[in-house]
C-alpha cells in the first residue's frame, strides 16, 4: 500500500474534542510549547477575524502491537493555543515560579496544615491529590491528564498553577470557525512509519526558524526506536550549561559524534575535519545516520565495533557509575567547563569501557587538574570568546581524554 494523504477541515470545537479524548496526541520527539501569551492572543484574534491559518498536519501511526495513534506532526502551538483559549488559561512561567516559592514558604511554616477543633490537620483533598503541572516543561497533554472535559480539568488544577486569561471567546466561536488539516496514512510497517515521520518532522521544522537544532534533531533519534536511549540517556538530562545567558541541556549527541571520530585513531586533528561552526549540525546528523546504518565508514568508528551486538546499556551504566565517583556539579558556567569535564569521562566509559579509580584522593586530584585546565583555557582571550572554534574544541577534547586516562583503575 502506498502512502496516502487526505485533506479536510474541522470546527475548533471538534479539534478540542479530539485533544480531550486523546484521539490526537503528540509524538515523543515533539518540542515543548513555546508561544508567549501575546502569541496565543494574536492567534485567537487571527481566527476570529477569519484570517488565513496554516493547515495542521496529522499522521496515522500503528504500533507493533497493533495500537493506533494519530500524531500531531505540525501544529502543536496552534492546537495548544485553542485548548488554552477554551479553558481560559495560560502556562505563565512567572506565575508558576511564584506558586513554587509560595509552596516552599508554606513548607517551612511552623504549622503547615490548618487545624480543626481537636488540633488535627485538615487536608484539602483536592490539593492533596493534585500536583502542580511543570510549566517550565509544558505541553498541552498536562492539561488533558487532568480530565476529558472543561469542568473536570479546571476542577483538578491547583489554584495558581496557571495564569487565568480572558481570550474573549465563547461556545459560538468554537462552533463557527474552522481549521484545515492534512492527514497522512503511510504504509503500515511500524519501522518504516517511524522513519517516515521522523524525517518528515525534521523537514517540516527545518523550513522554519522556531525550532532549535537540538529540538529538531530529536526526531532523528527515533529512526531506530531502540537507539533513542543511546542518543538521549535520561540520566544525562540533568546536566546543563549556560549558553547565551540561558541554561541549556548537555547535547549528548555532540559528545558521541566527536568522540566516535576521535576513537578511529585518537588523533585530535582528524576530528571534525572540513567542518566549521555553521556545519556542525550536518556533522551530527551524519553521525546519527552512521549509527542507525551501522555500516563501516571513513568518518566515525562503526557502532557495533564499540558496542558488540549493539548492546550499549552496560557501558551507559558504567558512565553513570563513573559520574557518581566524580560527584559532578549539575550546572556549568561555560561550554569550556562542560567539555573539559565530560569529553574524557564519556570516552573512557562508553568508548573504552574503563572504570575510574576508586581512590577518592586520586579522584580529588583529577578534579583539581580539570579545574586548572579550564582556567588555563579561559585565560586565552580568543578561546574564551570563541569556544566553538574547531581548534579550541579539539584541544578541550584531547586534553580531557588524556587527563581521565591517567586516573583509571
Task: Indicate the pLDDT class of residue 61, thresholds 50, 70 and 90.
Answer: confident
Q: Do 164 and 261 fall into the same domain?
A: no
CA distance 225 to 221: 7
Q: Do 158 and 251 fall into the same domain?
A: no
Q: Do 239 and 181 fall into the same domain?
A: no
- In the block, residue with C-alpha cell 551507559: 316
Q: Please, what is the average pLDDT of the chain?
A: 87
pTM exceeds 0.85, yes or no: no
Specify whether the CB–CB gap between 305 and 263 falls below 8 A: no
Q: What is the pLDDT of residues 295-311, one digit of tens each?
A: 888 899 999 999 998 89
333 found inside a domain:
yes
Question: Among 165, 185, 205, which residue terminates a domain?
Answer: 185
Question: Among 120, 153, 185, which residue terminates a domain?
Answer: 185
The percentage of the chain sitting over the pLDDT mark of 70, rounded to a whole number, equals 87
How many domains, the chain? 2
363 found inside a domain:
yes
- Residue 214, pLDDT above cutoff 90: no
- Residue 127, pLDDT above cutoff 80: no
> What cell does 70 get?
494519530
Question: Span 271-288, mean pLDDT?
Answer: 88
Q: Do 134 and 242 fall into the same domain?
A: no
Q: Do 268 and 146 fall into the same domain?
A: no
pLDDT at 1: 59
> What cell does 227 get?
537507539
> What cell does 234 get?
535520561
Quote the longest CA-to-CA distance of the chain. Answer: 78
Of 70-84, 202-216, 391-405, which gets the smallest average pLDDT?
202-216
CA distance 338 to 250: 8
- Give the residue numbers spanning the domain of 154: 4-185
Specify whether the CB–CB gap between 1 and 194 falls below 8 A: no
- Residue 188, pLDDT above cutoff 70: no
208 found inside a domain:
no
pLDDT at 128: 35
353 found inside a domain:
yes
Q: What is the pLDDT of residues 354-373, one digit of tens each?
A: 999 999 999 999 999 999 99
Distance of CA 14 to the CA centre of its chain: 29
69 found inside a domain:
yes
222 found inside a domain:
no
Phi, psi angle pair for 57, to nearest 5°: -115, 120
Specify whether the CB–CB gap between 58 and 71 falls below 8 A: yes
- In the block, residue with C-alpha cell 580539570: 370
Q: Do 146 and 15 fall into the same domain?
A: yes
- 178 DSSP β-pair partners: 11
Q: Do 172 and 239 fall into the same domain?
A: no
Helix (H, G, I), strand (E, B) or coil at 391: helix
156 found inside a domain:
yes
Overall size of the chain counted in residues: 409
Q: Do 13 and 150 fall into the same domain?
A: yes
Handedness of CA 238, 240, 246, 248 (dihedral sign): negative
Specify whether the CB–CB gap between 394 and 268 falls below 8 A: yes
> What cell does 230 get?
543511546
Specify whether the CB–CB gap between 344 and 402 falls below 8 A: yes
Q: Do 251 and 364 fall into the same domain?
A: yes
326 found inside a domain:
yes
Q: Do 131 and 232 fall into the same domain?
A: no
Q: Do 171 and 246 fall into the same domain?
A: no
- Residue 162, pLDDT above cutoff 90: yes
Torsion angle defined by CA atoms of residues 212, 241, 341 and 223, in that order, rounded to the nearest 10 degrees? -30
End-to-end CA distance of the chain: 56
Question: Among 170, 185, 200, which residue terminates a domain?
Answer: 185
Q: Do 250 and 157 fall into the same domain?
A: no
Amino acid at each position: 500500500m502506498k502512502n496516502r494523504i487526505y485533506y479536510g477541515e474541522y470546527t475548533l470545537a471538534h479539534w478540542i474534542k479530539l485533544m480531550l479524548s486523546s484521539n490526537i496526541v503528540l509524538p515523543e520527539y515533539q518540542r515543548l510549547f513555546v508561544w508567549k501569551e501575546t502569541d496565543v492572543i494574536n492567534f485567537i484574534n487571527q481566527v476570529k477575524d477569519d484570517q488565513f491559518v496554516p493547515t495542521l498536519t496529522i499522521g496515522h501511526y500503528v504500533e507493533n502491537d497493533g495500537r493506533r495513534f494519530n500524531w500531531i506532526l505540525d501544529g502543536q502551538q496552534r492546537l495548544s493555543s485553542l485548548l488554552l483559549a477554551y479553558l481560559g488559561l495560560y502556562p505563565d512561567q512567572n506565575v508558576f515560579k511564584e506558586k513554587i516559592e509560595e509552596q516552599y514558604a508554606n513548607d517551612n511554616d511552623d504549622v503547615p496544615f490548618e487545624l480543626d477543633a481537636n488540633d488535627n490537620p485538615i487536608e484539602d483533598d483536592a490539593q492533596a491529590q493534585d500536583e502542580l503541572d511543570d510549566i517550565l516543561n509544558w505541553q498541552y497533554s498536562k492539561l488533558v491528564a487532568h480530565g476529558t472535559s472543561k469542568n473536570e480539568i479546571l476542577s483538578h488544577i491547583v489554584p495558581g498553577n496557571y495564569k487565568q486569561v480572558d481570550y474573549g471567546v465563547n461556545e459560538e466561536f468554537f462552533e463557527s470557525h474552522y481549521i484545515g488539516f492534512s492527514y497522512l496514512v503511510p504504509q503500515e510497517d511500524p519501522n518504516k512509519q517511524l522513519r517516515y515521520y521522523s524525517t518528515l518532522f525534521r523537514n517540516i521544522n527545518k523550513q522554519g526558524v522556531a525550532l532549535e537544532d537540538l529540538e529538531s534533531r530529536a526526531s532523528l533519534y527515533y529512526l531506530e526506536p531502540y537507539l533513542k536511549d543511546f542518543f538521549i540517556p535520561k540520566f544525562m538530562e540533568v546536566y546543563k550549561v549556560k549558553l547565551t545567558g540561558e541554561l541549556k541541556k548537555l547535547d549528548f549527541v555532540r559528545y558521541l559524534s566527536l568522540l566516535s571520530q576521535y576513537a578511529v585513531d585518537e588523533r585530535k586533528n582528524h576530528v571534525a575535519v572540513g567542518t566549521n561552526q555553521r556545519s556542525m549540525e550536518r556533522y551530527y546528523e551524519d553521525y546519527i545516520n552512521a549509527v542507525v546504518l551501522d555500516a563501516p565508514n571513513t568518518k566515525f568508528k562503526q557502532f557495533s565495533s564499540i558496542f558488540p551486538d549493539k548492546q550499549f546499556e552496560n557501558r551507559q551504566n558504567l558512565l553513570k557509575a563513573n559520574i557518581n565517583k566524580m560527584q559532578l556539579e549539575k550546572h556549568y558556567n561555560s561550554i569550556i567547563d562542560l567539555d573539559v569535564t565530560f569529553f574524557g569521562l564519556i570516552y573512557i566509559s562508553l568508548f573504552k569501557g574503563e572504570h575510574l579509580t576508586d581512590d577518592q584522593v586520586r579522584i580529588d586530584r583529577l578534579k583539581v587538574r580539570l579545574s586548572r585546565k579550564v582556567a588555563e583555557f579561559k585565560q586565552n582571550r580568543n578561546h574564551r570568546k570563541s569556544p566553538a572554534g574547531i581548534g579550541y574544541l579539539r584541544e578541550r577534547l584531547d586534553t580531557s581524554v588524556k587527563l581521565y586516562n591517567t586516573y583509571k583503575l
